[in-house]
């Protein structure tokens, strides 16, 4: 075994179901799993991670510009997932640290199916009905009247791999009409896959269900805020399996209290892990899961294999696939 140090940071799923990924990593260097608190300071994070050549990471912690000044050995941050908004990419590039993510196709089916599952759970009141069956008389079933997805208008915000797959499932499986807001996709491409390109305002006002699948940028943080919630049908249901930062949770809570929307389902949150004091937990018409959209056996197998390959490639002095900060390899 070499002298390389490999850290697995806040990723509870890596190696748990596919131990062969851990075994392969151990042929490349010494492997340590670390769990860093959400309240850890940059100094603490830097001190604990300074010994490592490569990191395999989750959606936490935040890797700030200051962090990279404290980790001179670091060569790679391999995201065990897709999102990299917790990493200062410019700082990583400045310090010649590769930042990689898994190939989008690896997570596409898992996250798309999870989005559909949340739509069905929210629309058919499945969590509430399950709880009632376990804890209240059978006759309570009369309270659980839901909706059908058939022929509803579904607005998809972000039409990359996952957004398109969600659209396909809804269109082909349920007969839904698909509206798409994505400034980076042409109307022709969207139409070719069965959707209709519209403005954000048109999507908000016309949709019966809205599903978020966009990447987070500085421009679209809080994409759904007070103004946007005021434009929705009161019967709309909103699904977020993309990133919590796309939704202003303060405005969301106000919209739920005012009954401006019929329900909300999410796998992602503005701040993770979600605190037990979150006001979202108080609403019966809210369905929440703990960022498990990619948690299928098939997806985790592909994700694990990809990050192991990234570590191996970088330690060989080569350029890995799916580098987010391409300036490093130039």
Q: What are the catalytic residues? A: 243, 272, 291
Determine the 3-state secondary structure of 323 from DSSP: strand
> CA dihedral defined by 42, 45, 48, 53, rounded to 10 degrees?
-100
C-alpha to C-alpha distances, 210 to 69, 175, 262, 285, nearest whole angstrom: 41, 16, 12, 15
Contact (Cβ atoms closer than 8 angstroms) between residue 293 and residue 274: no
* Exposure letters 230-250 (e unless 16+ CB within 10 A, then b): ebbbeebbbbbbbbbbbbbbe
How far is the C-alpha of 270 from the C-alpha of 20, rounded, in Å? 33
Using only C-alpha atoms, the chain has a radius of gyration, in whole angstroms, of: 21
* Contacts with 298 (C-beta within 8 Å, 6 or more apart), sequence order: 109, 110
């Amino acid at each position: 075994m070499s002298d390389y140090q490999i850290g697995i940071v806040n990723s509870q799923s890596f190696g748990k179901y596919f131990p062969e990924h851990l075994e392969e990593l151990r042929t490349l260097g010494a492997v340590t799993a670390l769990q860093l608190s959400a309240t850890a300071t940059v100094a603490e994070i830097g001190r604990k991670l300074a010994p490592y050549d490569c990191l395999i990471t989750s959606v936490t912690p935040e890797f700030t510009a200051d962090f990279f000044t404290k980790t001179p050995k670091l060569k790679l941050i391999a995201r065990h997932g897709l999102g990299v908004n917790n990493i200062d990419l410019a700082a990583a590039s400045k310090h010649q640290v590769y930042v990689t993510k898994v190939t989008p196709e690896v997570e596409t089916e898992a996250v798309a199916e999870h989005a559909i599952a949340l739509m069905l759970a929210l629309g058919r009141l499945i969590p509430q009905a399950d709880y009632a069956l376990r804890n209240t008389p059978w006759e309570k079933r009369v309270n659980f009247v839901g909706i059908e997805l058939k022929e509803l208008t579904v607005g998809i915000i972000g039409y990359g791999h996952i957004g398109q797959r969600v659209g396909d499932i809804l269109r082909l499986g349920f007969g839904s009409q698909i509206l798409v807001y994505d400034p980076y996709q042409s109307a022709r491409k969207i139409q070719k896959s069965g959707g209709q390109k519209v403005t954000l305002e048109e999507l908000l006002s016309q949709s019966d269900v809205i599903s978020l699948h966009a990447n987070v940028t500085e421009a679209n943080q809080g994409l759904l805020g007070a103004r946007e919630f005021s434009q929705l049908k009161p019967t709309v249901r909103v699904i977020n399996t993309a990133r919590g930062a796309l939704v202003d949770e303060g405005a969301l809570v106000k919209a739920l209290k005012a009954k401006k929307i019929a329900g909300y389902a999410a796998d992602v949150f503005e701040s993770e892990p979600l605190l037990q004091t979150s006001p979202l937990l108080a609403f019966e018409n809210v369905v929440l899961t703990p960022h498990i959209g990619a948690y299928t056996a098939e997806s985790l197998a592909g994700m694990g294999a990809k990050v192991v390959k990234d570590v191996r490639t970088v330690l060989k002095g080569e350029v890995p696939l799916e580098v987010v900060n391409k300036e490093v390899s130039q």
